[in-house]
Each structure stands twice: as structure tokens, then as C-alpha cells.
Amino acid sequence: MSMQSVPTFNHPIPDAAWLSQLEEEVLDPQLPIIDAHHHLWDRLSDRYLLDDFLQDTNSGHNIVATIFAQCAWAYRTSGPEEFRPVGETEFVASVALEAIQRGLRTHVCEAIVGHVDFRLGFGVDEVLQAHISAGGGRFRGIRQVTARHPAFLATILIPPPLGLMADPAFRLGVSRLKLFNLSFDGWLYHPQIGEFSNLARAFPETSMVLNHVGGPLGIGPYMGKRDEVFRSWLASMQELGSCPNVSVKLGGLGMNVCGFAFKDRPSPPNSTTLSDAWRPYIESCILIFGANRCMFESNFPVDKAQCSYQVLWNAFKRIASGASTSERAALFHDTAARIYRLP
């Protein structure tokens, strides 16, 4: 089946009027939170820049810092192709400085995770150094989107090739991260978790961060098969859990690929609805990896199509309500601070 003939699932754009139908009282409003994964961009009618993000972070939760994750926005439009992603780091570093100049209580983009084409092999060294220089002391790692399935397309980026994590040239590039003390963020679908495990074992000295609880799918050939998908996902996550260099971001389940179609309802879901739907995945991750290798993320504005920022963090707090004080501190703040070396 050619790439042109497979169905495409586009990411929905958040509907502010729909989201405004629901507002909740913020649970545990003093709990310090590091939002471990968010984006900034301005794509056609989908704008999410600093002021848009602040409307969300100021919705009642104690967001003390945030971590920007690569999303292929603000790349350089000229110069060598391999250095163009550095433009994103330059842009995000300028946003972080603007937040400081405004005296904001939230340290926005306190850490930056960017992009490089690992298939450059040894050539990644110059690009990584350029990112570090552009990041103003905030650059912490590289995110690689390897999320790809032969039966459908669902991405805002150029679809990556299948089997990318096993490519020898790609792995040579990944091997350079430890020389710069940089981490690897991986976004993939649950059938690819085994490939991620192999990559993590090949580079045990590199911190590896699995995005979005490993991308359990609920669309295409996986629609209506949630129990079957969960069993397969769980087995793969248990295998991955044996890799001590791997941590997991808890979130991203609001993406359309996961199949929780809350956006199709007349009104947005409340935090109890979200916590009931997402608890099996998040609790399983915490059980397998431990709180010290798990961190909550908003994945905004992507997940904003399904729920508000206020409700999202309430849902996470409900899921973690049975955790100890130290575990909650790790899940909402300390793990992200350690993994991304926040000051």
C-alpha cells in the first residue's frame, strides 16, 4: 500500500467556545508542577504562542516551569538544511527570555528539546553544538518523531520512514548525544515500543524519554480494540521498564490517534471522565517505572482539542491521589527537574 493511498487522521484544532462550557475548581492548587512537554507554534488558524500558553498556565494550577518539546516550528528558512532546526531553539530561547523580562511566575521553556537528523552520523556534532549555543543554557536534548504505521498517517510533521530507530546511520547519530550530555525524547506508537527498547539498550548511558505513555493507538485497524491494544501495550511497557535509562511522560492521551474522541461530544469532558479513561495507562506506567521515572505532561496545544488545561491537570491529580507525598512530588515536578536538569 503506497503512502498516498492510506487514510490520514488530521489533528483537530482546539475549539475555544466548546472548551469554555466547562470550568472546574482547581484541585490542590499549591502543588508545584513542571509541565514536562508542550509546544509553541503559529500554523494557519492554529496559533499557540506565549500569550496563548499563559492563558492556560494561569488557569489556577501552580505551574512553576515548563519544558518545550520540538514541533518543527520556526525552523530557519535558509542556510544548510541540517542547521535549519536550530531556528526553533533560537525562537524558543527568545520566548524564555521574554517570560523572564515580563517577570512571570512560571519559568516558561526553562528547558528546550529540539531536533536533529541523526542520520547525519558524526555530522550531528556541529548541529548539537549550534543548538546548545542557541539555547542560552536551556538546551537539554533531542526529540525524534518516529511515530509511523503502514496502515495510516497521523502527524503534523513529514512522516518518518518505517524502522528508523534500527537504521545504522541513525544510531550513529544517537551515539553522539552522551558526549554533549543530552537526552533523547522518542514519540512513537505502541507497536514500536519494542524498537524503542532496543534503542535504549544500545545506548544505556543516554537518558531516554518515552513520550505520551508510548502512544497506545485507537484509530485505523485498532479502532474498537481497546482491550486488545492495552494488553499488547502493557506487555511492551513491561519489557521497556527493565531499561533503567528510560523515563516516561504521562500524558498525550488526548491525541486523536489514541481514539478517546471526547471532542465529538456536545460538551467537553470533566476531570473525572478523563481520569477514569486514562487511569489504566498512567497507573500502569507508574507501577512499572516508578514515580522517579515518570513525569506528567500537558502536550498542549495538541491535547487541547479534547480538554482544557485546567481540567487536564485536575484529571492527573485525581489519578495520582493515592500516591504518597514524595511520589506526587516526583510525578508533578521532581522527575522532570532531574531528567531535564532544571536549575
The domain that holds 330 is classified in CATH as 3.20.20.140
How large is the angle between the packed helices 124-134 and 86-101, nearest 10 degrees?
10
For 199, which DSSP code? H
Asked whether the predicted pLDDT for residue 3 surpasses 70, the reply is no
Asked whether the predicted pLDDT for residue 282 surpasses 90, the reply is yes
Whether 12 maps to a domain, the answer reads no
pLDDT on residue 157? 72
Task: Measure the CA–CA gap between 79 and 75, rounded to whole angstroms.
Answer: 11
Whether 24 maps to a domain, the answer reads no
Q: What pLDDT, in 10s, does the model give residues 80-113?
A: 999 999 999 999 999 999 999 999 999 999 999 9
CB distance 33 to 110 below 8 Å: no
Q: How many alpha carbons lie under 13 Å from residue 72 in its C-beta half-sphere?
A: 10
Decide: helix, strand or coil at residue 42.
strand
Whether 139 maps to a domain, the answer reads yes
Phi-psi region for residue 203, left (φ > 0), alpha (ψ -120 to 50) or beta? beta
Count of structural domains within the chain: 1
Average pLDDT over residues 65-74: 97
Asked whether the predicted pLDDT for residue 12 surpasses 70, the reply is yes
For 12, which DSSP code? P
Cβ within 8 Å of residue 11, ≥6 positions away: 154, 156, 255, 256, 302, 305
pLDDT on residue 335? 98
DSSP lists the bridge partners of residue 184 as: 142, 208
Q: Cell triple for residue 322? A: 493515592
pLDDT on residue 110? 98
pLDDT category at 1 given cuts 50, 70, 90 is very low
pLDDT on residue 156? 65
Whether 317 maps to a domain, the answer reads yes
Q: How far is CA 321 from the centre of its chain?
A: 23
Rounded to two decimals, the pTM is: 0.97
Sign for the CA dihedral angle at 154, 157, 158, 160 comes to negative
Whether 6 maps to a domain, the answer reads no
Structural domain of residue 277, as residue ranges? 30-339
Q: What pLDDT, in 10s, does the model give residues 184-230?
A: 999 999 999 999 999 999 999 999 999 999 999 999 999 999 999 99
Task: Measure the CA–CA gap between 322 and 326, rounded to whole angstroms.
Answer: 12
Whether 9 maps to a domain, the answer reads no
With vertex at residue 309, the alpha carbon angle to CA 308 and CA 312, rounded to the nearest 5 degrees, is 85
Asked whether the predicted pLDDT for residue 295 surpasses 90, the reply is yes
DSSP lists the bridge partners of residue 144 as: 186
| Chain mean pLDDT for the chain | 96
Q: Cell triple for residue 105? A: 511566575
Return the higher-pLDDT residue of 299 and 8. 299
Whether 7 maps to a domain, the answer reads no
Distances (CA, A) of 242 to 182, 206, 279, 290: 21, 15, 22, 11
118: phi then psi, degrees, rounded to nearest 5 = -60, -20
Whether 96 maps to a domain, the answer reads yes
Average pLDDT over residues 262-286: 98
Task: Measure the CA–CA gap between 115 and 71, rounded to whole angstroms.
Answer: 9
Q: What pLDDT, in 10s, does the model give residues 113-164?
A: 999 999 999 999 999 999 999 999 999 999 999 999 999 998 667 789 999 9
Task: Measure the CA–CA gap between 115 and 69, rounded to whole angstroms.
Answer: 9
Pick from 54, 35, 111: which is nearest to 313 by CA? 35
pLDDT on residue 2? 47
